[in-house]
């Protein structure tokens, strides 16, 4: 998707992200190549979501330099963050994907509505256009959000635990879309917990445990030694923690 002239590479140089003074994740260095498909795995509290939010420009970088495109990034947050009882139809949710091009005021053209309908059909929800999202199952709602990602047509796509709480068939269908995006040359990052799924479908893996443990081809990154190292990350923070000695 270099067509829009956006560099889809994301580079991190000694990036530190914090909640208050506590590091969510610190000293991340490396790059997500354009067109790469990377899984981000690690224990809860490892800083995975915070890293995605920072790449999307929603979390400040405290130290280091995070270079990501200013535009053309689509983020799928964890599903729990949304009010599913909101009175809005599936088609309207998908149409929100046009926001980057239409903004707050421009009227949506018939072609754009057609694109939204096609996206709903592509996620297997043909005929759901007028249905309120409150009437959907968790899996169907996740399909709607993927349809919105399709409409967004962004060169960089960030997925935060996209397959949590969806059934196997939905996960398979949505994975097919991820593979399609990869085939189209988009840069895709996904936070995941299912290591078998990561091994099968994601060529690259970043293993995080508040700092990068391993980053590279999935088999190497998920070696038993690396996974053990990630598991050693203390879940609770150290009350007496000193300022980090590895200052840039």
Partner 1 sequence: MLSLAVDLLWSPFAEFGFLRRALVGCLALSLAAPPLGVFLVLRRMSLTADVLAHGILPGIAVGFLVAGLSVTAMSIGGLVAGMVVAVGAGAVSRATGGREDAALAALYLVALALGVTLISTRAGSVELSHLLFGSVLGVDDPALFLMAGVASLTLLVLSFAWRPLVLECFDPGFAAAARARGGLWHMVFLGLLVLNVLAAFQALGTLMAVGLMMLPAVAARHWGRSVGGLAAAAVGIALFSSLAGLLLSYHLDLPTGPAIVLVAGGAWVVSVLAGPVDGVLPRLLRRPHLAG
Which residues contact partner 1 (rule: CB under 8 A)?
Answer: 56-58, 73-75, 77, 81-83, 86-89, 92-93, 96, 99-100, 103-105, 132
Query: Residues 54-77, buried b or exposed e (16+ Cβ, 10 A)?
Result: bbbeebebebbebebbeebbbbbb
C-alpha torsion 162→166→167→171, nearest 10: -20
Rounded Cα distance, 29 and 206, in Å: 11
Nearest approach, Cβ of residue 199 and partner 1 (Å): 29
Going by the DSSP 8-state scheme, the letter that residue 248 receives in this structure is -
Strands 204-208 and 212-217: antiparallel
Our CB check for partner 1 shows the closer of 74 and 209 to be 74
Comparing CB distances to partner 1, the nearer of 83 and 196 is: 83
Shortest Å distance, C-beta 167 to partner 1: 18
Q: Whole-number minimum distance, CB 105 to partner 1, in Å?
A: 7
Q: Smallest gap, in angstroms, from Cβ of residue 161 to partner 1?
A: 14
Q: Of 26 and 143, which CB lies nearer to partner 1 in the complex structure?
A: 143
Cβ proximity to partner 1: between 96 and 248 the closer is 96
211: left (phi over 0), alpha (psi -120 to 50) or beta: beta
Rounded to a whole number of angstroms, the distance between the first and last alpha carbons of the chain is 34
The smaller minimum CB distance to partner 1, of residues 37 and 133, is found at 133
Closest separation between CB of residue 87 and partner 1, Å? 5
């Amino acid at each position: 998707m270099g067509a829009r002239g956006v560099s889809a590479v994301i580079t991190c140089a000694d990036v530190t992200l914090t909640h208050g003074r506590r590091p969510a994740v610190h000293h991340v260095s490396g790059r997500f190549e354009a067109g790469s498909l990377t899984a981000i795995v690690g224990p809860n509290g490892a800083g995975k979501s915070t890293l995605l939010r920072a790449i999307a420009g929603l979390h400040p970088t405290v130290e280091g330099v995070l270079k990501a495109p200013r535009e053309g990034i689509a983020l799928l947050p964890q599903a729990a963050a949304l009010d599913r009882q909101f009175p809005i139809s599936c088609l309207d949710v998908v149409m929100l994907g046009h926001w980057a091009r239409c903004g707050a005021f421009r009227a949506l053209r018939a072609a754009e509505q057609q694109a939204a309908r096609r996206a709903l059909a592509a996620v297997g929800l043909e005929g759901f256009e007028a249905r309120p999202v409150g009437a959907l199952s968790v899996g169907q709602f996740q399909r709607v959000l993927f349809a919105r990602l399709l409409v967004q047509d962004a060169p960089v796509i960030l997925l935060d635990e996209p397959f949590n709480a969806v059934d196997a068939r939905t996960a398979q269908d949505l994975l097919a879309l991820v593979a399609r995006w990869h085939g189209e040359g988009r840069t895709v990052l996904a936070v995941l917990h299912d290591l078998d799924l990561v091994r099968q479908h994601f060529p690259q893996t970043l293993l995080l445990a508040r700092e990068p443990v391993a980053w590279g081809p999935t088999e190497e990154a998920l070696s038993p030694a690396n996974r053990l190292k990630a598991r050693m990350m203390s879940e609770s923070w150290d009350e007496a923690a000193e300022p980090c000695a590895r200052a840039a």
